[in-house]
Amino acid sequence: MNLKDEFVRLFGEGGEIREYFAPGRVNLIGEHTDYNGGHVFPCALTIGTYACARRRTDRKLRFSSLNFPEAGILESSLDDREYRKELGFSNYPRGVIVTAAEQGYEADAGMDILYYGTIPNSSGLSSSASIEVLTGFIIKDLFGFDFDGITNAKIGQQAENRFIGVNCGIMDQFAIAMGKKDTAIFLNTATLRYQYAPLVLDGVKILIMNTNKKRGLGDSKYNERREECERALKDLQKAVDIKTLGDLDEEGFVLYSEMIRSQVCMKRARHAVFENRRTIRAAEALREGDLVKFGQLMNESHVSLRRDYEVTGLELDTLVEAAWEQEGVIGARMTGAGFGGCAVALVKERYLPVVMDAVGRTYRDKIGYDPTFYIAQTGDGPARIG
């Protein structure tokens, strides 16, 4: 498929058409910690979102996606800065354009943009953040704006928070905007200090296992979980001087947890605190080449997400628990927001066919349809490719 040919077919000839790419991401460990001031450990992927774009001579914005052909061309304007439900997926790039303008990066002309994503929708591999970061990169390139990858990530996050209405943290946009091949990013979401950690996985592959259960963050209990953590934090702040749950270690949580009035909020906070510390230990284990320890921490992460954060569900638990039973699996856990989407596993390469077959059969027998497997390849951040 030639994306530029499709662009011309939809939008017509004329002008300079530029082509771009931004990756998706998978988070190896550190789930639901990014909005709690904790650490995360994601990496960018080689699957992601492609786009062709050109400037217009008026203030029209026209968007289309080969992933949603039934939507046709969705048209709006630079002067319309409100979320419009009828404009579907285009609210994501519209939100980025509006947010960038509010921060001084205001486009002086409209655009035509055609998107094509290779990230499965609702998979938890950040298709929405990929579109957001890609759109930020497009307007930077088309209009000559001078902002870096971290600023692009912040614009994408704020667009999702304020325009889309999902109170996500910074991890997805940061991992995509700052992605680097053959590395994961060890990120402190409270300070945005980060380190690239080489992914030295000799004879081991990252296996992504898609439940194929559809979900939408805005429709899920994602925002509810964030509110529960915020209530726990307010209770804790009456007894201890902390700004985020990530400021506590395990001992501190045990000491002060009785301050949290709601049992449910206590469970949510316990996950956030312990998951943050797991992520710090996992990064250390990787630096030391201890993949067995890394895998154990992945397993513990999933148990906590199931028991305390309650975001796994039957489909994800079935995938992960089936993976745990297979020889050659070093560790496995859900990844992303949960409520469906994907799990991630570290698997010794020679066992991959057997693991995928066995996990697939178990899942199909219990759930009634097949999962999808992807052997992950790490990739770089957004780029102009044509």
Q: What is the pLDDT of residues 145-192, one digit of tens each?
A: 999 999 999 999 999 999 999 888 899 999 999 999 999 999 999 999
Euclidean distance between CA atoms 87 and 94, whole angstroms: 9
Cα dihedral value 284, 381, 275, 336, nearest 10: -140
Residue pair 116/49 in contact by the 8 Å Cβ criterion? yes
pLDDT at site 125:
80
Q: What is the mean pLDDT of residues 343-369?
A: 98
- Burial state string for 69-91 with b = 16 or more CB within 10 A and e = fewer than 16: eeeeebebebeeeeeeeebebbb
Strand-strand pairing, 342-348 and 329-335: antiparallel
Q: What is the mean pLDDT of residues 201-225?
A: 82
Say which residues have a Cβ less than 8 Å from residue 41's Cβ, sequence separation at least 6: 27, 28, 29, 30, 184, 185, 186, 187, 197, 279, 282, 283
Residue pair 139/86 in contact by the 8 Å Cβ criterion? no
Indicate the residue type of 157. Answer: Q
Task: Report the SS3 class of residue 19.
Answer: strand
Q: What is the mean pLDDT of residues 284-310?
A: 97
pLDDT at site 260:
97
Q: What is the mean pLDDT of residues 290-319?
A: 97
Indicate the residue type of 385. Answer: I
Q: In what order do the strands lie in the sheet with 74-77?
A: 74-77, 60-65, 111-117, 42-55, 18-27, 383-384
Q: How far apart are the first and last CA of the chain?
A: 15
Q: Considering the chain, what is the average pLDDT of its residues? A: 95
- Which position has the token pair 């953590």? 229
Euclidean distance between CA atoms 305 and 185, whole angstroms: 21
pLDDT at site 220:
63
Q: What would the pLDDT profile of 34-54 be if each residue is shown by its tens digit?
A: 999 999 999 999 999 999 999
Q: What is the band of 339 on the pLDDT scale with cuts at 50, 70, 90?
A: confident
Q: Could you give the residue numbers annotated as active site?
A: 172
Q: What is the band of 305 on the pLDDT scale with cuts at 50, 70, 90?
A: very high
Q: State yes or no: pLDDT of 214 exceeds 80.
A: no
How far from chain centre, in Å, is Cα 249?
Answer: 25
Euclidean distance between CA atoms 144 and 103, whole angstroms: 15
Phi, psi (deg, nearest 5) at residue 88: 50, -135
The percentage of residues in the chain with a pLDDT greater than 90, rounded to a whole number, is: 91
Q: What residue spans define the domains of the chain?
A: 3-198+380-384
- Which position has the token pair 């209990």? 221
pLDDT at site 218:
45
Instruction: State the DSSP code for 328.
Output: T
How many CB atoms lie under 10 A from the CB of residue 25?
34
Tell me the whole-structure pTM to 2 decimals. Answer: 0.93
Euclidean distance between CA atoms 165 and 95, whole angstroms: 10
Residue pair 38/193 in contact by the 8 Å Cβ criterion? no
pLDDT at site 216:
53
Considering only CA atoms, give the Rg of the chain: 21
Q: What is the mean pLDDT of residues 92-118?
A: 97
Domain 3-198+380-384 belongs in CATH node 3.30.230.10:
yes
